[in-house]
Amino acid sequence: MVKIWGDHDLINGTVDFGGVTRQVCLSYVPEVRIGDYVIVHVGFAISQVDEEEAQRTLEILSAMGDLASDELASDVDVPS
Amino acid sequence: MKYLAEYRDPGLARAALAELRRIATKPWSIMEVCGGQTNTMVRQGIDEVLPAGIRMIHGPGCPVCVTPLEQIDRALAIAARPEVIFTSYGDMLRVPGSQTDLLSLRARGATVRVVYSPLQAVELAAANPDRQVVFFAIGFETTAPANAMSVLRAAELGLDNYSVLVSHVLVPPAMRAILASPDNEVQAFLAAGHVCAVMGYTEYEPIAATYQVPIVVTGFEPLDLLDGILHAVRQLESGRTEVENAYARAVARDGNPAAQKVVATVFEVCDRAWRGIGVIPDSGLGLREAYAAFDAERRFAVSQVTAQEHPACIAGSIMRGSRLPTDCSAYATQCTPRSPLGAPMVSTEGTCAAFFAAGRRSPSSLVPAPTAAVQPVPGSRESQS
Ligand code: SF4
C-alpha cells in the first residue's frame, strides 16, 4: 500500500506490485494502512496479508530444512 | 516483492520436498482445485518432483474454462450489437464460441474493451451515456465481490446503460460433485486460497466430514503448494480428515465479511452449467431480482442459444481431471495458445495452456493417467451460499 484516498463512496488506494503501481479498490479491507501488504484480485484488495503468519510459515519450513539437512538427498530436484 | 521471493525460496522448497519424502509411505491422489495453482504446479514442474506415488490431479478451477459455451455465444451476440461497448477480463477475448470469439468480433468492428477491474466498465458507462456498456461477469468467489460492487456502484450512480452478463461459479459444489462421482479418485483437496480469502473455509468443514477427505487451504507460490501438499499428506498418512489452513497469511476462518455482504446483496445462489461438465445444482451465482435491471441477458433477450463445441476438443474430460491435454489429438498441433480450439488452451489458468507453456509434449512426462471424474450431483440441494 503506498497511497489511500476516498473517491465518492469508494475507498481507493495505490498498490505497488514490486515496482508497478496500480489503483485498487479498498472497500473490502477498510482497516488497511500505508505500508501493509494486500492480496489484490481484479482491482479489489480482498485480503490483508498477516505478516506474523507469513513469517511463522516460513519459520516452520526453515526448521524442517535444518532437521532435514543432514539426510537431505542431493538428488532432490528443486522447482526453480 | 515481499513474501514472493520468500515463498519461492529453493532451499525451503528442498526442505519441504525432503519432509514429504520422509512422511509419504503410500500413494495418494490430491486435487488442486484452482487454475492458478495448476499453472504454478505445471510450469514449475512441482508435480514431477513429488515423491513417487503422490499424484496431483488438476481440478476444474479455471474460471474462463468453465464458462459455458452458451454464455460465450450470448456474449458474442451482445457484443455484435452496434450500441454496445462490451467489456471483459482479457482472458475471455480469445475463448472460442461456437462460431467466433470476441477478438475476431472486435477486428470486424465491434467495440470490445478489456478492463482490469469491473469498476472501469462502470466508468465507461458513465462516460458514454449514449452507449450500452455490458460487463462479462465471470469467475469464482474471488471475482464476485468486485463484480457485485460494480452493480451497486452503477445503481448508486443511477446508470441505466450498464449491465452484466453473469456466469459466476462456486467452488464447494464442484468439490462435492467430484467427490460424489462413482469413479472419484481424489483423496484430498488443496482448496483455492483466494476463494477462501473471500469466503473463509467453514463451508468446507461439512465436505471434509461427509466425504472423509482432508481439505487444505493453500496459496499460489511454489512453497505454498508444497506446504499445502505436506499438510494433506500428513493428514492422509495419519487418517485425519480435517480442514486445515496452510495459507493463514491471507485467509481467515470466516473470510472477508465485508465482501461476502456485498456479494449476498447483489447475487443469489442458482444452478449453473459448467463448460465440459454440465449443470451442477446450486453451483453458481445469479443476479437477485432486485438487480434484474442490470441483467444483460434480459436487456438484450439472448437467453436462447444453441452451442456447438469443436469436435476434436476433449476439454470436458480435462476439466473433470479424467484425461490430460496430451491425450487430445489436437493438442499442440491444431490447438495452440495462438489458435486455441478450446477454452483450457486460452487462459493461463487452463490446464492445456499450462502444459503447452511448460513444454509438455509427450505422455511420457506425465504422472499415471488419472481417471477421476466430475459428475453433476443429481438432486443434491445442500445450500452452498
Ligand atoms: S488441447 Fe485444445 S482441443 Fe485439446 S482439449 Fe485442450 S483446448 Fe481442447
Task: Give the domains, in start order, of chain A with CATH numbers.
Answer: 3-68 (2.30.30.140)
ipTM of the complex: 0.75
CA B28 to CA B51: how far, in whole Å? 10
Judged against a pLDDT cut of 70, whether residue B52 lies above it is answered with yes
The secondary element (H helix, E strand) that includes residue B270 is strand B267-274
CA B154 remoteness from chain centre:
26
- CB contact at 8 A, A49 and A37: yes
pLDDT of residue A43: 87
pLDDT of residue A73: 37
Segment B4-30 shows an average pLDDT of 86
Q: How many angstroms does the Cα of residue B35 sit away from the middle of ligand 1?
A: 15
CA B100 to CA B150: how far, in whole Å? 28
**H helix runs in chain B, sequence order:** 10-23, 35-43, 46-49, 63-66, 69-79, 102-107, 118-127, 144-156, 171-180, 193-199, 204-211, 222-238, 257-266, 296-299, 315-319, 351-357
Higher pLDDT, B162 or A34: B162
Q: Which three cell numbers stand for residue B169?
A: 461459479
What's B144-189 look like in SS3? HHHHHHHHHHHHHCCCCCEEEEEEEECHHHHHHHHHHCCCCCCCEE
Residues of chain B neighbouring A53 (CB-CB closer than 8 A):
248-249
Residues of chain A neighbouring B194 (CB-CB closer than 8 A):
39, 41, 46-47
Domain with CATH 3.40.50.11740 in chain B: 65-169+255-299
Instruction: Identify which of A25, A73, A78 has the shortest CB distance to residue B10.
Output: A78
A68 band by pLDDT with thresholds 50, 70 and 90 = very low
Query: Which atom of ligand 1 lies nearest, measured to the CA of B342?
Result: 7
pLDDT of residue B127: 97
pLDDT of residue A41: 87
- CB hemisphere CA count around B294 (13 angstroms): 30
The reply to whether residue A68 touches residue B4, judged by beta carbons under 8 angstroms, is: no
Buried/exposed code over B10-43 (b: 16+ C-beta within 10 A; e: otherwise): eebbbbbbbbbbeebeeebbbbbbbbbbbbbbbb
- Window from B20-29, B279-288, B356-365 with minimum mean pLDDT: B356-365
Q: Which three cell numbers stand for residue A41?
A: 484480485
pLDDT of residue B368: 42
pLDDT in tens, B171-215: 999 999 989 988 889 999 999 999 999 999 999 999 999 999 999
Superfamily in which the B65-169+255-299 domain is placed by CATH:
HypD, alpha/beta domain 2 (3.40.50.11740)
The reply to whether residue B4 touches residue A41, judged by beta carbons under 8 angstroms, is: no
Q: How many angstroms does the Cα of residue B156 sit away from the middle of ligand 1?
A: 42
The reply to whether residue A18 touches residue B4, judged by beta carbons under 8 angstroms, is: yes
Assess A27–B contact: CB distance below 8 Å, yes or no: yes
pLDDT of residue B303: 67
The reply to whether residue A29 touches residue B227, judged by beta carbons under 8 angstroms, is: no
The secondary element (H helix, E strand) that includes residue B138 is strand B132-139
**Highest mean pLDDT pick, B206-215, B294-303, B304-313, B335-344:** B206-215
pLDDT of residue A7: 58
CA B251 vs CA B137, B198, B256, B285: distances in Å: 24, 8, 8, 22
The reply to whether residue A73 touches residue B194, judged by beta carbons under 8 angstroms, is: no
Judged against a pLDDT cut of 60, whether residue A75 lies above it is answered with no
CA B284 to CA B107: how far, in whole Å? 32
Assess A40–B contact: CB distance below 8 Å, yes or no: no
Judged against a pLDDT cut of 90, whether residue A4 lies above it is answered with no
Contacts across the A-B interface (CB distance below 8 Å): 134
Segment B351-379 shows an average pLDDT of 61
Judged against a pLDDT cut of 60, whether residue B301 lies above it is answered with yes
Judged against a pLDDT cut of 50, whether residue B247 lies above it is answered with yes
pLDDT of residue B349: 83
Q: Which three cell numbers stand for residue B220?
A: 499460489
The residue whose C-alpha atom lies closest to atom 7 belonging to ligand 1 is B342
The secondary element (H helix, E strand) that includes residue B132 is strand B132-139
State the residue for C-alpha cell 462435492: B176
Q: How many angstroms does the Cα of residue B330 sit away from the middle of ligand 1?
A: 6
pLDDT of residue B321: 80
pLDDT of residue A80: 38
The residue whose C-alpha atom lies closest to atom 8 belonging to ligand 1 is B313
Percent of all residues in chain B with a pLDDT value above 70, rounded to a whole number:
92
Judged against a pLDDT cut of 90, whether residue A18 lies above it is answered with no
Buried/exposed code over A31-62 (b: 16+ C-beta within 10 A; e: otherwise): ebeeebbbbbbbbbbbbbbbeebbeebbeebe
* Ligand 1 neighbourhood includes B335 CB (under 6 angstroms): yes
In angstroms, the separation between the Cα of residue B273 and the nearest Cα of chain A is 23
Q: Which three cell numbers stand for residue B267?
A: 447475487
Give the mutation target among B308, B318, B326 for probing the ligand 1 site: most ligand atoms within 8 A of CB. B318
CA B60 to CA B306: how far, in whole Å? 23
Query: Which atom of ligand 1 lies nearest, measured to the CA of B345?
Result: 7
Percent of all residues in chain A with a pLDDT value above 90, rounded to a whole number:
1
* Ligand 1 neighbourhood includes B92 CB (under 6 angstroms): no
The reply to whether residue A72 touches residue B15, judged by beta carbons under 8 angstroms, is: yes
- Window from A33-37, A63-67, B64-68 with minimum mean pLDDT: A63-67
Judged against a pLDDT cut of 70, whether residue B147 lies above it is answered with yes
Kindly give, in sequence order, each residue whose CB lies less than 8 Å from that of residue B349, ignoring residues fewer than 6 positions away: B34, B35, B36, B38, B39, B61, B62, B63, B64, B65, B91
B377 band by pLDDT with thresholds 50, 70 and 90 = very low
Judged against a pLDDT cut of 50, whether residue A79 lies above it is answered with no
pLDDT of residue A65: 60
Higher pLDDT, B91 or B192: B192
The DSSP secondary-structure symbol of B292 reads G
Domain B6-58+171-245, CATH class in plain words: alpha beta
B363 band by pLDDT with thresholds 50, 70 and 90 = low
CA A56 to CA A54: how far, in whole Å? 6
Question: How many residues comprise chain A?
Answer: 80
